[in-house]
């Protein structure tokens, strides 16, 4: 019997001919990542282990992005610990201030993750890099510390569920709608410690930005990783970002799958996930009319250039509802600059939005957009758990940038096609 793409990558990094689901392995890592919440804990664990040096100063990446720019003294101290460690270890990849951005948007932008690689990060949304045909997964800070010290990680080989997407996309439907729809079908534990392998002819028409969004939210179905096969879209994305060699793996025709689920993207309308689970996904028509206090367009899920372009198309020449606070958060400084060059930032400001520096910010209830009791937000972020964006009695609705931007104008959840009425 053959192997899946995930099995092949793990076998390669474990120095083995093949691996089987459920097998425990030690695997070599290509990159270890941590942020301003998880890195200080990893640094402390590293020192308790007695490790003096990281295994490779070019393969440990630190990105303060959750509470930055520092929202208070404690968050400033967290970043200070990271900065000192980066200087002490001579880390090549330390990103702060004008060089920084949201980690899972920043690393692919800089060509730091390539197909066939194994990446672990002390952040659950590290699974984002599966969009590039890499095995990437989130780990705890202690496991990240061990990987920083040894260059290896202990893993159980996951079983794989294959999702085959067919058909043609409806207008305004993108990667966010597709992954919300998928999670709605299988539930928040529907892929628990499994690989979600995304395949099918419809995905040839999905941009890299859309693929990053889908891989990013694999964790919201409990998955160990989400992964796409490398195609011409992937190769084109990497062409101007790296000159490093990489190895492309693909699943065999007789690869073992726990399940194969076929979905027609033509059945997918723009989606909204109702509080308080990402799996509470419904067509926007079933959420229409819900009044909203805040709109957030950004995060490691939907803070990329394509997301801002969609938002721009909907708010250009219009005014945002005065009762709606609207936050636009580009994923990186480069995305911010490109949006500025194209005139989008000016359009957002003139429409009445607040454009924020690249940061996770309100996604996790961190800063720059925390909700009060009873307030409702629609966001392009990845989670809408109780209290996720602020008060326990606030509500978060998840959507793609089209629904979020249209809602900002209307003041209530609407289909993007209905924006002409406002």
Three-class HEC string of 38-95: CHHHHHHHHHHHCCCCCCCCCCEEEECCCCCCCCCHHHHHHHHHHHHHHHHHCCCEEC
Give me the sheet containing 31-35, strands edge to edge: 93-94, 60-63, 31-35, 118-121, 135-138
Residue 112: phi, psi to the nearest 5?
-90, -10
Judged by DSSP in three states, 251 sits in coil
Query: Where do the CATH 3.30.499.10 domains begin and end in the chain?
Result: 5-264, 271-421
In this structure, is the dihedral angle defined by the CA atoms of residues 344, 346, 350 and 354, taken in order, positive or negative? Answer: positive
Evaluate if residue 86 carries a pLDDT over 80.
yes
C-alpha distances (whole Å) from 224 to each of 156, 168, 175 are: 10, 28, 19
- The rounded Cα 365 to chain-centroid distance in angstroms is 17
223-253 pLDDT, tens digit per residue, is 999 999 999 999 999 998 999 999 999 999 9
- Please provide the average confidence, as pLDDT, over all residues in the chain: 96
Its CATH architecture, for the domain 271-421, is 2-Layer Sandwich (3.30)
Mean pLDDT is lowest, of 35-39, 94-98, 181-185, 333-337, for: 94-98
DSSP H or E stretch at residue 33:
strand 31-35
Cα gap 386→361, rounded to integer Å: 17
Q: What average pLDDT score do residues 282-297 get?
A: 97
H or E, element range at 271: strand 271-273
Mean pLDDT along residues 12-38: 97
Residue percentage of the chain with pLDDT more than 70? 100
- Superfamily per CATH, domain 5-264: Aconitase, domain 3 (3.30.499.10)
What is the distance of C-alpha 151 from the center of its chain? 24
Copy the structure tokens of residue 63.
């990105």
pLDDT reading at 143 higher than 90 = yes
Can you tell me the distance from the alpha carbon of 388 to that of 4, in angstroms, rounded to the nearest whole number?
Answer: 35
Element (H, E) at 8: helix 5-14
The pLDDT of residue 210 is 98
Look at residues 35, 129, 34 and name the one whose alpha carbon lies nearest to residue 360: 35
CA dihedral 393, 365, 310, 357 (to 10 degrees): 150
Residue 343 has pLDDT above 90, yes or no: yes
Reported as type and span, the H/E element at residue 144 is helix 141-150
């Amino acid at each position: 019997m053959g192997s899946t793409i995930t099995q092949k990558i793990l076998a390669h990094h474990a120095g083995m001919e093949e691996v089987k689901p459920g097998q425990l392995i030690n695997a070599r890592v290509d990159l270890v990542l941590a942020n301003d919440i998880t890195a200080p804990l990893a640094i402390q664990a590293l020192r308790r282990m007695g490790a003096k040096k990281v295994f490779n100063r070019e393969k440990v990446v630190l990105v303060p992005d959750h509470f930055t720019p520092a929202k208070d003294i404690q968050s400033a101290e967290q970043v200070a610990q990271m900065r000192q460690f980066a200087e002490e270890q001579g880390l090549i990849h330390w990103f702060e201030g004008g060089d920084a951005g949201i980690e899972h948007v920043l690393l692919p932008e800089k060509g730091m993750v390539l197909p066939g690689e194994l990446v672990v990060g002390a952040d659950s949304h590290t699974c984002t890099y599966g969009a590039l045909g890499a095995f990437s997964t989130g780990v705890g800070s202690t496991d990240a510390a061990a990987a920083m010290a040894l260059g290896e990680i202990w893993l159980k080989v996951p079983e794989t569920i294959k999702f085959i997407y067919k058909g043609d996309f409806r207008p305004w439907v993108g990667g966010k709608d597709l992954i919300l729809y998928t999670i709605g079908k299988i539930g928040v534990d529907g892929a628990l410690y499994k690989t979600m392998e995304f395949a099918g002819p419809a995905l040839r028409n999905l941009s890299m930005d859309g693929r990053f969004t889908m891989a990013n939210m694999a964790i919201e179905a409990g998955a160990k990783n989400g992964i796409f096969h490398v195609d011409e879209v992937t190769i084109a994305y990497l062409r101007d970002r790296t000159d490093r060699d990489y190895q492309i793996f693909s699943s065999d025709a007789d690869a073992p799958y726990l399940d194969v689920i076929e979905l027609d993207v033509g059945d997918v309308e723009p989606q909204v996930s109702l509080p308080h689970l990402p799996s509470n996904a419904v067509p926007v028509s079933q959420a229409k009319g819900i009044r909203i206090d805040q709109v957030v367009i950004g995060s490691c899920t939907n803070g990329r250039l394509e997301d801002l372009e969609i938002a721009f198309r909907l708010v250009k020449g219009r005014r945002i509802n005065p009762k709606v606070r609207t936050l636009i958060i580009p994923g990186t400084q480069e995305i911010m600059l490109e949006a500025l060059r194209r005139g989008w930032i000016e359009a957002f400001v003139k429409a009445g939005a607040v454009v924020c520096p690249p940061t996770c910010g309100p996604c996790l209830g961190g800063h720059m957009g925390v909700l009060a009791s009873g307030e409702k937000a629609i966001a392009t972020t990845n989670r809408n758990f109780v209290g996720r964006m602020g008060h326990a009695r606030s509500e978060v609705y998840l959507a793609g940038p089209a629904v979020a931007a249209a809602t900002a104008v209307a003041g209530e959840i609407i289909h993007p096609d209905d924006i002409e009425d406002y």
